[in-house]
Structure 1
Amino acid sequence: MINKKILLIVGSLRKDSFNKQLAIFIQEFLNQYVSTEILDYKELPLFNQDIEFPTPQIVKEIREKFALADVIWFFTPEYNGHVSGVLKNLLDWLSRPISQNEFGIPNTTFNKPITMSGAAGKMKSIGSIKNLKEISSAMKMIPIDIDEVGIALSPESFQTNKLNLTNDDKNRLLNQAKALLSYINNLVKYD
């Protein structure tokens, strides 16, 4: 097992969201090789400068998990062509200064390697992935040079609330995961 950690961030708080199911599918594969965690941020308050300092405990905990991760993998639904409000809220908190007297991009996001996938309707999360790239770029995160995967949800998925991945979907996702593992392997320093 490689001594690296991937933090999986799902852009939906729904318990059985399609993107959470997607993250679990990837997590089951990745856990053979690296440590993973799906970030729980359902208790994160809406960003508001009135409550920014002193920093809420949940924000401190999320920043620490983000900072300790070697790579972040986002799983984004698409809401009107963009990322969800809850994911944008999380990113807004992460983009803020850690102390009142600091300015600029915090170290928790600066040069943080990221990749992304998404499950949505017929547009396959293309809009939200593009939007997430724009937001993460403003936060100085670095997209890894591997293909993102967008999944078109089938009508059956919407009827059953179960992610119905085709063999092609699975292969594309596993290829993304393997490319990520190759990237991570290059980060490991061997004696």
Structure 2
Amino acid sequence: MNQLKIAVFVGSLRVDSFNRRLARAVEKLAPAEFAFRHIQINDLPLYSQDFDAAYPAVATRLKKDVESADALLFVTPEYNRSVPGVLKNAIDIASRPWGTNSFAGKPGAVIGTSIGSTGSALAQQHLRNILAYLDVPMLAQPEVFVHFKDELIADDGTVSNEGTRKFLQGFVDNYVAWVRRFVR
């Protein structure tokens, strides 16, 4: 089977992002034909409709990165009970100008982790609403709200807890099947 290109959006810019660790854990559990590429969002200007006439080079790069992917994976923390601004900004840029939505039709999933006991449940729900509007078919189950503890996932994505690893493997198996339904 050909490699499937997965665009990974990590909604945290922090160097030691828990969500980046979670993304790496998912990548380690996925089959070899799934090639994950972390999409750069830390250098994007704030979206303005003024861009629609002539998109900045970094915004054009973002759109091309999304368009070259077969599927999407969003791994997000929760900021003030919602989606981090940097992630929402990237989504706004890649979905504009009107009629050039780079996300449309690409299968996706959203997961996240937080030190709070509810993981990133509200941010994920808000993100699902946004992506539904942008015509991204989203994997509904299983939902992944990981209550993060520092020793749970190493920097390289190794999961120390066997129950958590099995749970994440279940998500990955469902995500792989979901993507394959759309991409042949």
TM-score between both structures, scaled by the size of structure 1: 0.83
Asked if 1:111 corresponds to 2:105, the answer is yes
What does residue 100 of structure 1 align with?
A: none
Give the secondary-structure state (helix, strand or coil) at the position aligned to 2:110. Answer: strand
Q: Please give the alpha-carbon distance, in whole angstroms, between the structure 1 residues aligned to 2:156 and 2:20.
A: 11
Structure possessing the higher relative contact order (Cα contacts under 8 Å, 6 or more residues apart): 2
Q: Please give the alpha-carbon distance, in whole angstroms, between the structure 2 residues aligned to 1:168 and 1:27.
A: 17
Give the secondary-structure state (helix, strand or coil) at the position aligned to 2:117. Answer: coil
Q: Please give the alpha-carbon distance, in whole angstroms, between the structure 2 residues aligned to 1:87 and 1:25.
A: 20
User: Which of 167, 171, 174 does residue 166 from structure 2 map onto?
Assistant: 171
Q: Please give the alpha-carbon distance, in whole angstroms, between the structure 1 residues aligned to 2:94 and 2:101.
A: 10
What does residue 47 of structure 1 align with?
A: 47
Asked if 1:146 corresponds to 2:141, the answer is yes
What does residue 124 of structure 1 align with?
A: 119
What does residue 132 of structure 2 align with?
A: 137
Paired residues in the alignment total: 181
What does residue 180 of structure 1 align with?
A: 175
Give the secondary-structure state (helix, strand or coil) at the position aligned to 2:23. Answer: helix
Checking the alignment, whether the CA contact within 8 Å between 1:23 and 1:38 is kept in structure 2 is no
Query: Structure 1 pair 123/181, CA: closer, same or farther in 2 (3 Å)?
Result: same
Q: Which moved more, 1:43-52 or 1:130-139?
A: 43-52
What per-residue deviation string (whole Å, max 9, x for no partner) do you get for residues 157-177 of structure 1? 6xx999876322222211111
What per-residue deviation string (whole Å, max 9, x for no partner) do you get for residues 111-141 of structure 1? 2211010001111111011010111112121
What does residue 24 of structure 1 align with?
A: 24
What does residue 64 of structure 1 align with?
A: 64
Q: Please give the alpha-carbon distance, in whole angstroms, between the structure 1 residues aligned to 2:179 and 2:138.
A: 13
Checking the alignment, whether the CA contact within 8 Å between 1:2 and 1:185 is kept in structure 2 is no
Q: What 5-or-longer segments of structure 1 have no aligned partner?
A: 98-102
Q: What 5-or-longer segments of structure 2 have no aligned partner?
A: none
State the 1:148 CA deviation.
Answer: 2.4
Identity %: 28
Query: Structure 1 pair 134/186, CA: closer, same or farther in 2 (3 Å)?
Result: closer
Give the secondary-structure state (helix, strand or coil) at the position aligned to 1:110. Answer: coil
Checking the alignment, whether the CA contact within 8 Å between 2:9 and 2:39 is kept in structure 1 is yes
Q: Please give the alpha-carbon distance, in whole angstroms, between the structure 2 residues aligned to 1:107 and 1:136.
A: 11
State the 1:50 CA deviation.
Answer: 3.2
Query: Structure 1 pair 170/45, CA: closer, same or farther in 2 (3 Å)?
Result: same
Give the secondary-structure state (helix, strand or coil) at the position aligned to 2:53. Answer: coil
CA RMSD of the aligned region, Å? 2.5
Checking the alignment, whether the CA contact within 8 Å between 1:10 and 1:74 is kept in structure 2 is yes
Query: Structure 1 pair 161/22, CA: closer, same or farther in 2 (3 Å)?
Result: closer
Q: Please give the alpha-carbon distance, in whole angstroms, between the structure 2 residues aligned to 1:44 and 1:114.
A: 22
Larger Rg: 1
Q: Which amino acid aligns with 2:136?
A: M
